[in-house]
Each structure stands twice: as structure tokens, then as C-alpha cells.
Amino acid sequence: MKYPIKIIVVLSILILFLISASIISVTAKDKYKKINRKIRNTSIFARLLVKICNINIISDIKKLKNDNANLFVSNHLSYLDILCIAAVIPVSFISTKEVEHSPLLGLFAKAAGSIFIERRNKKKLLSDIEQIKNILNANLNLHLFPEGTTTKGQMLPFKSSFFKLAENSTINIKNICIKYTKINDKPVNSANGDLVFYYGDMTFWRHFFNFLKIKKLNIELLYAGELKNLRGRKEIAIKSYNQIKTIYNQ
């Protein structure tokens, strides 16, 4: 597909996605049914975009997609992570209030059925955690990026505050390692990595249109292990980080 046509097709799909999400917001009255319908709607559009953008997802986590009420955790390299994960597993993403208040990313995050938390306010965080636990109890999957930001291909330490929701609980944590491996059949490196990695003061639309110039992208979503019945959030953060980091370095 030629670049100008690709832009038109992708933007049209994004607009249709926002319209369909708006319809769900109006027609679904029950809170959890609304979230469920939004994340499944997101998964449908994500698979469509992945196909149009010729993103080849190599994954061993597809077997987990019907394994409900889990907290999926992964490293975070780009907004493309969200697209690819949603294409494989219908899941609600846990994000921050900063993203919610972002004019553009916040719009798409809300349409995708994301859950927003205030990690910097301990009192508010505790309230948000109860909301998250209720979503898990409603048999819906959640996904967390505990680095709190995207990076230029490296892994940052996981912020333990995000794991407060799993502290002293029976929540199952399933870790996923995200690796971008090839761009146009060439290994991802310092020369071409900025076509997929999204970090620092990069602007979304400029990065996104440059990404659309890519003819083929290979990404791996690899199951890194499970954690359960752990007590302290710091212990959970370290063990989750180590499981993913081990796979990422291979």
C-alpha cells in the first residue's frame, strides 16, 4: 500500500474506532459491560491496524487470551505496544491521570476502555486500586506498564507504587516481554530504532506518520512468567522486572 493511501486508510480506521467507542459509551449502561465492550472493540480495530501496517507479531501469549481476571505486566517502548497487545489479548490498560488529561492520547485511551490512576496521591491511589480490583473481580483482564513511561529501547526500573494493587492479594500477575526485532527485515538498532521507539520530547503525529513509512515491522510478545501470592509491592516490582528483563536480554 502506497504511503499517502496508507495514511488515509489508517486515519479513517482511527476515526471509525472513536465513533464506535462513543456509541458503546452511550448504549452500554453497566460500567463493566461498557469496559468489556470497549476493550473488545479495541481488539478488533487493533487487529485491523496491525494487518494494514504489516506488523508481524510473534507471540506465545495468545494462549492466555481466554484466561481472565489476570494482571498483565510488560516493559514499555512505544504507543505501538498498546496496539500490538490489544491485537492479541482483549485487555483494559491501566494508565495515569496525566495520560487521561492529554488531549490526544487521552481521547484514544478513554475510547479503548483504559483505567486511569493517580499514582502520586496515596489516598487517591488506594481508591483507584479498589476500582481496579472490582474490574478484575468482574472477570476482565488488565494490563500495566510499571515503568511509567516509554523508553529508547532500554528497560527502566519498575515503579513499585503501581504494584500496590497486587500487595497482599491473590491477583495473578503474568509478565510479558516486548521486543521490536526487525524494521523492513533489518535488525532494530540505533540507526532505525526511532521509527518505533517513542520517548522524550517526540511529538505523536510526527512520529506516527514516520512510522507509517515502515513497510514491515516484526515484534515479539513473549510470556516471561507468572507471579502470585506475594506480599510486598517492592518485592513484586523487582521480581516482575527481573522476569521480563531476563527475556529481553536474550
pLDDT for 66: 54
| Mean pLDDT, residues 203-228 taken together | 94
Q: How confident is the model at residue 73 (pLDDT cuts 50, 70, 90)?
A: very high
pLDDT tens, position by position, 139-166:
888 999 999 889 999 999 999 888 887 8
Q: Are 73 and 178 in contact (CB under 8 A)?
A: no
**SS3 (DSSP) at 5:** helix
Task: Specify the pLDDT at position 1.
Answer: 80
The per-residue pLDDT for range 74-133, each reduced to its tens digit, is 999 999 999 999 999 999 999 888 888 888 888 999 999 999 887 666 677 777 778 888
Q: Which pLDDT band holds residue 234 (cuts at 50, 70, 90)?
A: very high
Kindly report, residue by residue over 191-200, the tens digit of the pLDDT.
999 999 999 9
Rounded mean pLDDT of the chain? 90
| Cα–Cα distances in angstroms (integers) from residue 34 to residues 49, 113, 128, 186, 199, in the given order | 22, 8, 18, 41, 31
If 0-12 CB within 10 Å is exposed, 13-18 middle and 19+ buried, where does residue 99 land? middle
pLDDT tens-digit profile of 5-61? Answer: 999 999 999 999 999 999 999 999 899 999 999 999 999 999 999 999 999 999 988
Check whether 174 has a pLDDT greater than 70.
yes
- Are the CB atoms for 144 and 94 separated by under 8 Å? yes
